[in-house]
Structure 1
Amino acid sequence: MANDAVASSPPRFVAPAQTGETDDPVRDVLAAFTNDLVTAVDETLAAFLATEVEALAEIDAAMGGFAETARDCALAPGKRVRPTFAYWGWRGVVGVDAPLPSVLPALAALELLHTFALVHDDVMDASDTRRGRPTAHRAAAARHRSAGHTGDPERYGEAVAVLIGDLCLVWADRLMAHAAVPPARLLDVRRCYDQMRVETVAGQFLDVLGEHDAANWSVDRALRVARYKTAGYTVQRPLLFGAALAGAEADTPLIAAYTRYGLAVGEAFQLRDDLLGVYGDPATTGKPAGDDLRTGKPTVLLMLARQLATPAQRRALERAGTVTGAGEVARLADLVRDTGAAARVERMIAERVTEAQVALDGAPIEGTARTALTGLATAATTRRA
C-alpha cells in the first residue's frame, strides 16, 4: 500500500520545554506531544491522493486539473486538529508504544472529511478566502474567466466547489478502508464516523437556517449549532473514533470521559472561532475580520450581545447583516464588545476548558495521552487562527 512508506515507529513524545514557542499555541502543543504526527498524516494523504489524481486524469485532461485542485485543498497547510484528537483518543487506550501505520489511513481520512466540510461551508458562506488563499469556488470562478468560458463564472465556481467537496468525502471513505484493523472493529469505527457526518450536516443546516431565521434564534440555539457543527466533528467524535480504532468498549468510564471532554473543548473551540470571526487578525486567521457581522450570522457572541445590550445598543445591533464598509464593521465590533458579550464568551470558554480538565481527572487514560489532551484543551481554545 502507499502508506507503507510511513515510518512504523510511533510519533515521538517530546517534552514541551524542548519546543520553541510560536504565535500558534496549537502548533506548539502538537510539536510538544506529537512531533511527527502531522508529517505522517500529510505524507499519507499525499501518497494516497497521488494515485487518486492519476486515475482521474486518465478519464479526461480536464478531470486531472479538477482532481489536482481537490488534492491541493486537502493538502493546504493546516493544524490537522481532527486527526490529532483521534490519535490521542487511540493512544489513550493502546499506550505510546503501539505502532501507528495500521490506523494512520483512518486518521488521515478525517482530514479529507474536514476538507469536504470546509469547501462546502465556504460556498454556503460566500467566503472569499480560506487559510489566506482564495476559496475553492472563487478560484474556480477565476479560472473560468481566464479561460474565456461561457456562462456565469460564479455559478460555475460554486458547482465545481460542491463537486470538490463531494470528491473529498468519497476519498475519505476510500482512504479509511486502508486501515489495517479487524473488519468487525472497522465496522464500529464506521458507525462512529457515520454519526460524526450526520451530526456535521445537522449542525451545518442549523447554521444556514440561523442566518435566515435570526428573529427566532437564541443563545441556546447558537450553542446547539456549535455542539453539532463544530464540537462533534472537531473534538468529541474524533476522540471516540480513535477509541473505536483501539477497540475500546462502549459505555466505559474512558468513553464517558472522552464524551464529556470532547463536548466541552469542541464548544470552546467554536466560541473562540466566534471571537476570531469578529476580532481576529486577518493576517493570522487567513479570513477577513467581521464576516459574521457582515452576514448577521447568529453566533453565540452576537446573540449574547443582543441579550446584554441596552435598548439603544440593540437598535444599533440591528445593522448586523447590512454593514459593508470596514469602518462600519469595526464600529459594530466595538459595540458588541461594549455590551460585555465578548467578555462573557471568554468566560464561557474558560469554564469549558475547566470542565474538560475535570473530565480527564481519574479517567482510565494512558498518562501521556492525558497530558497531551490537557494541553490541547487550552491550546485549541486560546489560538489566534
Structure 2
Amino acid sequence: MALTRVPAAPGPIARDTRPVIAGAQQRESIALPPAGPSAAAELDRVRAAVSAALSDFLAVQRQTLAAMDESLVPIIDEVCAIADGGKRLRPLFAYWGWRGVRRESAGERDAAVLRAVAALEFVHASALVHDDVMDGALTRRGRPSTHVGFAARHGDGALAGDGEAFGVGAAILVGDLALVWSDELLRCSGISSAALSRARVVWDTMRTEVTAGQYLDLLRAAGGLPGVQGALTVARYKSAGYTVQRPLQLGAAIAGAGEGAAEVYTAIGLPLGEAFQLRDDVLGVFGDPAVTGKSADDDLREGKQTLLVALAQEAADADGRRLLAATLGDPAAGPAELDAVRALMESTGARAQVEQRIAERTALARSAIAEAPLAEDARAALDALAVAATTRTA
C-alpha cells in the first residue's frame, strides 16, 4: 500500500483580532452533534475488546518474566499500569479505518483485527515513557511517571548507586520493552500473512516518524526549529501522524485497500491529528489536574515549546517576552509566575488562535469524513471519534 507524503509544515496561522475566547466557550460554538447510540456502543465495544487483548497478552508476558526472575515482575506491573489507562484512540482509528474500506470477501476476522490494532497501545506506551524521561515529567495519568516510580523503588529497596539514574535507566528499558511487545502482538494477532505484510509497511513508517518527531521536539526545546512553523512541524511528526493518519492507514492496509484509501485517510488524519495535539497542548497549560491526571504547571516548568508558546512570543511586548524567557523551563517557577504566563497567553490571543485552529482543522477532517467513500457505520464512528479527540478534557 503506497503511503502519501505530505509537507512537513502546514500553512501559516491566521491572525485573529477578536476578543479572547475561553476554551470551553470556543468548543461550544462549534455546535458538534453527539455520537448516535449505535456509534457510541460500537466505540465502547472496541475499547473493551482492545483492553481484553492487552490483558490477555500481558498475562502471558507476566508468566514469562516471572519465570526468568521474580525481580522482573515490577517491569510487567509498570507496563500493565501504563496500558491500563488512556482513551484507546489509536486502536479505535485503526479498527474503523479497517471497517471503513474492508471487503467481506477479504476474510480477516474481527477478533484478529482487534488484537492487531491493540498493538498500537504499546507503541503509545513506549512513546509516553520515553517522553516523560526527556521532559523530566513527574506524573502521568494521576500516578508517578515511570522513571520517578523506579527511582522511588530504588530508595525503598535501599539499593546502591544513584536512584535517579536507576529510575531513568529502568524507564528507558520499560519503554523499549513496550515497543518490542508492540511488534509481537501485531505479529501474533491472527491476521493473515498477506495482511500482516501489508500492515508492516505502514507500521514501520509510523514508528520511524514518531521517533523522529521525538527528536524534533528535543531539538526545538534546545532552540532549533523556531517559531510557529517549528511548533507545527513537531506536532505533525511527534503526534499527528501516529495518532490518527497512520492508524487509519494501518486499518486500510489490513483490509487490502489501495492507494486511494491511503490518500483519503491522509486527508482525514493529518488535520485531525494536529487538532488532537493542539488540544493536548491547551490541556497541558489550562487543563484541570483532577481530570487530566497531570499538573497544569508541568508543561510550563518543562519549557515545552508548543504552538501556544510560539504565538505568545510572537505577539507579546518586551515585558511579555521577558516573562516567557524567565519562566518557561524554570523548574522553580512559582504559581504567580506561571499564572502570569497563562494570562499572557490569553491577553495576546495565543490561546484563542489555537482554539480557532483546532476548530478549523477539526472541521476540515470532519468534512473529509463526510465526503469519503466509507461504509456508513465507519463514517459515523470516525465522526464521533473526531469530536471526542478534539473536545476532550483529559
TM-score w.r.t. structure 1 length? Answer: 0.88
Q: 1:117 is aligned with what amino acid?
A: A
Structure 1 counterpart of 2:90: 82
Stretch deviating more after TM superposition (179-188 or 109-118): 179-188
What residue is the counterpart of 2:301 in the other structure?
A: 294
| Partner of residue 112, structure 1 | 122
Alignment of 1:304 with 2:311, yes or no, is: yes
Q: 2:82 aligned to 54, 57, 73, which one? A: 73
* Separation in 1, partners of 2:56, 2:219: 38
Structure 1 match to 2:21:
none
SS in 2 for 1:103: helix
Q: What code does the residue aligned with 1:321 have?
A: G
Return the letter of the residue paired with 1:277. G
Q: Identity over the aligned pairs, expressed in percent?
A: 48
Q: What is aligned with 1:5? A: none
Paired residues of 1:58 and 1:64 also in contact (CA < 8 A) = no
Could you tell me which of 310, 329, 335 is aligned with 1:321?
A: 329
Residues 1:66 and 1:312: Cα distance change in structure 2 (over 3 Å): closer
More moved, 153-162 vs 32-41: 32-41
Q: Is the 8 A contact 2:206 2:241 kept in 1?
A: yes
Unaligned 5+ segments in structure 1 are 1-14, 20-28
Does the aligned pair in 2 maintain the 1:274–1:299 contact within 8 Å?
Answer: yes
8 Å contact 1:57–1:65 — kept in the other structure?
A: no
* Structure 1 match to 2:236: 227
User: In the alignment, which of 226, 237, 242 is matched to residue 217 of structure 1?
Assistant: 226
Q: Deviations over 1:23-81 (max 9, x none)?
A: xxxxxx7x44422111111111111111111111111111233223223322x222111
Query: Which of 305, 321, 331 pairs up with 2:340?
Result: 331
CA gap 1:96/1:220 in 2 versus in 1, 3 angstroms = farther
C-alpha distance in structure 1 between counterparts of 2:360 and 2:104, whole Å = 30
Report how far residue 96 of structure 1 moved: 9.6
1:47 matches 2:56: yes
Partner SS state of residue 160, structure 2: coil
Measure, in 2, the Cα distance between the counterparts of 1:32 and 1:262: 23
C-alpha distance in 1 between matches for 2:52 and 2:315: 48
Greater relative contact order structure (CA < 8 Å, 6+ sep): 2
Report the more deviating stretch, 31-40 or 222-231: 31-40
Residue number among 43, 47, 63 corresponding to 1:38 in the alignment: 47
Listed one character per residue, the Cα deviations across residues 99-154 of structure 1 (whole Å, up to 9, x for unaligned) are 41121221110011111111111111111111101111111111111111111111
The answer (yes or no) to whether the contact 1:211–1:295 under 8 Å persists in 2 is: no
Counterpart residue number, 2:195: 185
**Structure 2: gaps spanning 5 or more residues:** 1-33
Distance in 1 of aligned mates of 2:288 and 2:222: 27
Instruction: Verify: 1:93 aligned to 2:73, yes or no.
Output: no
| Amino acid in structure 1 at the alignment position of 2:98 | W
Question: Could you tell me which amino acid in structure 1 is paired with residue 94 of structure 2?
Answer: A
Q: What secondary structure does 1:361 align onto? A: helix
Distance 1:65 1:306 in 2: 43
Q: How does 1:1-385 map to 2 (within 5 A)?
A: 16=35, 18=37, 31-74=40-83, 76-94=84-102, 99-213=109-223, 217-250=226-259, 252=260, 254-319=261-326, 320-322=328-330, 324-385=333-394
Of 359-368 and 41-50, more deviation after overlay is shown by 359-368
What whole-Å deviation, never above 9, does each CA across 1:176-233 have from its counterpart, x for those lacking one? 112323322211101100100000011110111111116x511101101100100011
How many residues align? The count is 357
For residues 287-336 of structure 1, give each alpha carbon's deviation from its aligned partner in whole angstroms, at most 9, with x where no partner exists. 11022221222111100111112233223222222362122111111111
Letter in 2 for 1:310: D
Please say if residues 35 and 380 of structure 2, whose CA atoms lie closer than 8 Å, have aligned partners that are also in contact: no
Deviation track 1:150-186 (CA, whole Å, cap 9, x = no partner) reads 1111110110111111111111111111232332221
> Matches of 1:384 and 1:305 in 2, distance apart?
22
C-alpha contact 2:240 2:276 (8 A) present in aligned 1:
yes
Give the C-alpha shift of residue 377 in structure 1: 1.4
What is the distance in 2 between the residues matched to 1:99 and 1:239? 18
Between the aligned partners of 1:37 and 1:18, the Cα distance in structure 2 is 14
1:35 alignment partner, SS class = helix
Mean Cα deviation higher: 95-104 or 183-192: 95-104
**TM-score of the pair, normalised by structure 2:** 0.87
Q: Does the CA contact (< 8 Å) of 2:137 and 2:302 recur in 1? A: no
Change (3 A) 1:316 1:149: same
